Amino acid sequence: MSTSTRSVAARRDARAALLFLAPAVLFLAVFVAYPLLTAGVLSFHSWDGVSPRQWTGLTNYERLLGDRIFWGSLRNNVLVALTAIVFQVGVGMVIAYWLVRVVPRIKRFAMFVYVVPVVISEICIGLLWGFVYNPYFGLLNGFLNAVGLDELARGWLGDRSTAMPAVLVVMNLTYLGLYILLFVAAFENVDEAVYDAAAIDGAGHYRTFFSVSVPMVWSNVQATTLLAVVSSFKTFSLVYVLTRGGPSNATDVVSTYLFQTGFGNFEAGYASTIGFAQILLTAAVGVFVLGLMRRGKRGEA
């Protein structure tokens, strides 16, 4: 085949590729890339969202550095991510192992139940848990009264000290099902012969889990950890519907704080600064977590 026919084919390929990709790329350019770049520009402005915007240089970023609510909400995002790694990825892995290796008889039923909160809207979940935590007729206080722990009863979401833990419990119970699902699929793909070998070696479940199952699905552990971290920084609906970020910003995450700043206080410029800083920080955390896991893997091998 001569070079000219190859280049003709290449050009035909390029044209066809453009045709097939154009719609998706156009959508991403207009509704993701363009707003993102605009947010970057806006982050250097003072703007109420309507009247002409004013260039203020680094003022917004200086304000951000000293903004205790922002750092508090970022800290809450980190809490969401850390608890997600432990209680969604970690616990999900253990429960999936149990369902596949220890109690396969109830695997189908348990998976069915665990996935229910994943498919139902977070708004419904949040409204329902609002009832669970209600100080007057809540399920949780009702339970505590029933078992004689009346002193512990309180307004769980209205109390600064318990609001964030209460939100975290709902989040981790809700999304856990997704991780169980993913690890059940991963563990079922592990060759049975590997387990036979472990059994011959006399390994119990504890050792089998840590020295066989987890290493065998390590790429899934990495992928799901990344998923958990990325999702944790995206979280909005559950916090919004449970507490709106309150009481007095105790449960604010970056998304709810940005929403309040941009659409409650009409500080569109500063809201963009919050969002833009968030992207940079998310990227940093993502790289950090990936690097950590690479090292963890190497350390194990």
Partner 1 sequence: MSSSTIHVTRQHPAAVPGTTGRERPRLSTGTAIVYLILAVHLTVVIFPFLWMAYSSLKSNQDFLASVWSLPTNPQWANYGKALGEGKLLVYAGNSLAVTAVSVALTVAMATAAGYAFVIYRTRWMPWVEIAMLVAMAIPAYVALVPLVATLRDAGLLDTRTGVVLPTVAFNLPVSVLIMRAFFSTVPRSLVEAARVDGTSELRAFLRVMVPIARPAMFTTAIVNTIWVWNDFLFPLVLLNTPSKKTLPLGLTDYVGERVTDYPVLLAAVLLAALGSFVVYVALQKQVIGGLTSGAIKQ
According to CB under 8 A, which residues from 79 to 138 bind partner 1?
95, 98, 100-104, 106, 110-124, 127-129, 131-132, 136-138
Footprint of partner 1 on 22-81 (CB under 8 A): 23-25, 27-28, 30-36, 38-39, 42, 49
Distance CA 142, CA 11 (A): 71
Min dist CB 251 to partner 1, Å, is 16
Give the length of the chain. 301
Which residue of 6, 7, 21, 265 would you call a contact of partner 1, by CB under 8 A?
Answer: 21
Options 55-63, 66-74, 270-278, 293-301: segment touching partner 1 (CB under 8 A)? 270-278
**Contact pattern from residue 158 through residue 177 relative to partner 1, giving x for each residue in contact according to CB under 8 A and a dash for the rest:** ---------------x--xx
Number of residues that bind partner 1 (CB under 8 A): 109
State yes or no: residue 148 binds partner 1 (CB under 8 A): no
Min dist CB 138 to partner 1, Å, is 7
Min dist CB 17 to partner 1, Å, is 4
State yes or no: residue 276 binds partner 1 (CB under 8 A): yes
Which residue of 163, 198, 217, 250 would you call a contact of partner 1, by CB under 8 A?
Answer: 198
Which residue of 158, 188, 215, 246 would you call a contact of partner 1, by CB under 8 A?
Answer: 188
Options 67-75, 147-155, 157-165, 194-202: segment touching partner 1 (CB under 8 A)? 194-202
Min dist CB 160 to partner 1, Å, is 23
